[in-house]
Amino acid sequence: MTHNNGDATDDAELVTDPVCGMLIDPATAATTREHDGTTFYFCSIACAKTFDAAPHRYGHPHP
């Protein structure tokens, strides 16, 4: 289990949920979606459902 203690090096392992902007660990993401060959990570099923309704609005994920 990984814990984020706020060190800058920890941030390199995080990705941004494209819907809400939350930084999340890809290993513990609630769910993922594949779109145009890119994997998107989500903090919750609700964010994934919002993405599913209009994936083109969210572009590419930002590390």
Using pLDDT thresholds of 50, 70 and 90, give the confidence band for residue 44: very high
CA distances from 14 to 18, 53, 54 (A): 13, 24, 24
Using pLDDT thresholds of 50, 70 and 90, give the confidence band for residue 63: low
Average pLDDT, the chain: 85
User: If DSSP states are collapsed to H, E and C, what string results for 6-42?
Assistant: CCHHHHCCCEECCCCCCEECHHHCCEEEEECCEEEEE
pTM: predicted TM-score of the whole model, two decimal places: 0.75
Does 14 score more than 70 pLDDT?
yes
Q: Can you tell me the mean pLDDT for 42-55?
A: 98
Q: What is the model's pLDDT at position 54?
A: 96
Does 45 score more than 80 pLDDT?
yes
CA atoms within 13 A on the CB side of 56: 0
**Facing residues of 33 across strands?**
40
